[in-house]
Structure 1
């Protein structure tokens, strides 16, 4: 964003005071610790913190403009103040208005698994031809989406936006802001079972994306996903609707796949010889969504191939890291049964003298969580594993299922104990898979190992 304060006021329907200095806004921020010079700051009311408390602080830091709830006191000095009834609502309206003003296309991506990797792949491939920006990190809820869109440069060609959800109708509401020109659904998994109760309901929630698309939009989806295949029949699909997967009825069909430590190679019926520096067969599926997107936006085959080599993955997602002779497959951002199995499949294809798996709790799985963890433990027996280490209360069930299936499995009570067990392996020619939900803080365990 590069707007004057008066332009932002107009976007929000606020009468501009001509006596106020009309400064330039070059970015939008809602975290006072990250404010840069000439930012617009949006103070939000949280459960524990009222962002308005930091108004003068951000003004002193060089922010040029601030939204301000009209009932808040201690209005900051030395900054353009735009008073609104509710800063959260105004933030949403600013993102909507900015989206309307800018001419770039938006690719919106949702799904239980693979949203972030698909975002990275789509953005990387399209960057071979276009000016592209994407959601940073995991900013895929309303505040993050507002932040993402407001910080897209006005002169980009394509914005790639990740759309998350916790409940029914959330994607519907987020798409009122995003209004994607191309919508992608990667799959329907078991994440959010606790809120939505069944995979059928999760499919309904994900397919709210379809209803946000115009008849001239493009819809791309995983045609191998039975929940999606069943649910999309209940929706009016855009004229251009395309599927991908291994089944032969798909528009884009995976025909071959190979993997080594440097990345994956795969071919489809639409394009062969694709190479990208990501790991896992699931990334070939995500890559097919990117391939279909690229073809819809006019990239030729060589541009697409080159774009796949330009992909910049988000950290903590199936990244292979070396710690001396030991290699660690770092997949610690989140975990659910589908992504855990995908990590196991990826790990299986990597060659090493010794293999250790670390599993932490999987969150938001509802009333069947214990059984789901137990079943995952049972499935570990199908893969090469010299030692399985489990951490977290629910991970006790992973350990129990794995032990009953004949796996050498141990439950550990703390991250400190886990670090001590793993230390000797750093001197060996071995490979460690680390997988758990973000709240298990396995990234901190990895940081400890890096400091050994």
Structure 2
């Protein structure tokens, strides 16, 4: 972004509590972390229950911030530090809301394509793959990490330059109309839904309501836009229906990374068979659990006949074939060739905490998938783990999954039953809900002696670390609040 301070004040409806030395000085970045300030930054002071960002305003200015966005008066010493540095202080009623207002204003300056991505699982991996594919053909800015909330989404828009070719925005939601609110200022021209699963079912109550929430992204697309949907997901017909793509003049693009993709194409209606599409065939996993497949595509602009190219991923897990196909569809729609897309997919690397393979000094393989979890991603991770070549034992450390509400006990038991069929030598269940994982696994035939239940990450680490031997492999997965990344850290230190 690039705002003169006076322009930023107008955009957020604020006034200068401390006048800057030069109100036409440019703001070129934004942060609410005083430790991440760079020259020319706007520091956003966010109030909090334990820490008030206003207390760090002086430190932010000392680090190079040219302006502070505040929602109450700074201390006298902080205000004096701003005056001495020539930095401005813009006061508003709500600093978090002001970030959205600033992004709304900056969005009008973006000349490139804005792509929104949502879904129950795979959002962040898909966003990363779309970013990596499009980066092979032009400039791209994408959501950092999984900053897909009310602050992260506007921050992604603000991180783009006016001439950035592609802005890839990951969008999370926990209820109805939240995507509507994000799309109102992001204004994506293209939208991608990875799938509709059970994540956030606690608040939404049913998969049908989850589908309705996801459809909000596609319903926001303008005439001439493109909607990328997962042909293998059973809720996609409902998402398409709710989004009313045809009525809005939006082109639907199908992608399918399932083993049934070719057979499913045979049963498509004539209208759907004519849509732009990407699908996978000849899918296999190598010894490390990385997919190899044939990437097929048809009906894209400039593609007179279907094309097929080999594709090999460095990401692990059969589920990543679907994520790769969705990113390929975006790349092909943007005018890239199938060969260019396959090469970019092959070069993509996994993000820390998502099927990250680590090795301990003692020769134990640790699969760090502890960033987050829901029933679908648990099953996908367990399937990948089962396909991994292991000379020793397979040990899965699984923790509680959040935001499942009244469905939680049954869904945890289903994960346990699935785990029982995944070639595990030992299953360590961490947390109160994870006891239902243990129950499900035992009911499905896993020996009781192979199942351990513990209260927290410390107990999990102490129960497995002394027993590990060279050649063993450990999968660690749970919702982020369980803190199981500490198990990974304890094993690989």
> Same fold judged by TM-score > 0.5?
yes
Q: Look up the match of 1:356.
A: 395
Q: Look up the match of 1:125.
A: 133
- Aligned partner of 1:253 among 274, 279, 295: 279
Q: Secondary structure at the match of 2:176?
A: coil
Report Cα offsets for 1:373-430 as digits up to 9, x if no partner: 1121122222111111111000111111212222221112332232223224553212
Whether the 8 Å CA contact 1:328–1:433 is kept in 2: the answer is yes
Once the two structures are superposed, the pairs formed by residues 9-408 of structure 1 within 5 Å of their partners are 9-12=9-12, 20=22, 22-69=24-71, 74=76, 75=79, 76-77=82-83, 78=85, 79-237=87-245, 238-245=249-256, 246=261, 247-248=264-265, 249=268, 251-260=277-286, 261=288, 263-270=290-297, 271-324=308-361, 325-353=363-391, 354-407=393-446, 408=450
Segment drifting more, 342-351 vs 321-330 = 321-330
Whether the 8 Å CA contact 2:183–2:217 is kept in 1: the answer is yes
Cα distance in 2, alignment partners of residues 339 and 406 from structure 1: 22
Once the two structures are superposed, the pairs formed by residues 429-440 of structure 1 within 5 Å of their partners are 429-440=471-482
Report Cα offsets for 1:171-218 as digits up to 9, x if no partner: 110111221121000111111111111111111111110111011110
Q: Look up the match of 2:452.
A: 410
Whether the 8 Å CA contact 1:326–1:425 is kept in 2: the answer is no
Cα distance in 2, alignment partners of residues 296 and 372 from structure 1: 37
Cα distance in 2, alignment partners of residues 186 and 219 from structure 1: 11
1:224 deviates by: 1.7
Whether the 8 Å CA contact 2:309–2:339 is kept in 1: the answer is no
Cα distance in 2, alignment partners of residues 268 and 102 from structure 1: 32
Cα distance in 1, alignment partners of residues 116 and 370 from structure 2: 24
Whether the 8 Å CA contact 2:39–2:64 is kept in 1: the answer is yes
Cα distance in 1, alignment partners of residues 332 and 94 from structure 2: 42
1:56 deviates by: 2.3
Give the TM-score normalised by structure 1: 0.94
Cα distance in 1, alignment partners of residues 373 and 15 from structure 2: 48
Segment drifting more, 179-188 vs 420-429 = 420-429
- Extract unaligned runs of 5+ from structure 2: 298-307
Cα distance in 2, alignment partners of residues 141 and 167 from structure 1: 12
Whether the 8 Å CA contact 2:3–2:27 is kept in 1: the answer is yes
Whether the 8 Å CA contact 1:123–1:311 is kept in 2: the answer is no
Kindly tell me: are residues 417 and 10 of structure 1, through their superposed partners in 2, closer, same or farther at Cα, counting changes over 3 Å?
closer
Segment drifting more, 127-136 vs 264-273 = 264-273
Give RMSD over aligned pairs.
Answer: 2.1
Segment drifting more, 135-144 vs 88-97 = 88-97
Q: Look up the match of 2:6.
A: 6
Cα distance in 1, alignment partners of residues 184 and 49 from structure 2: 25
Segment drifting more, 388-397 vs 95-104 = 95-104
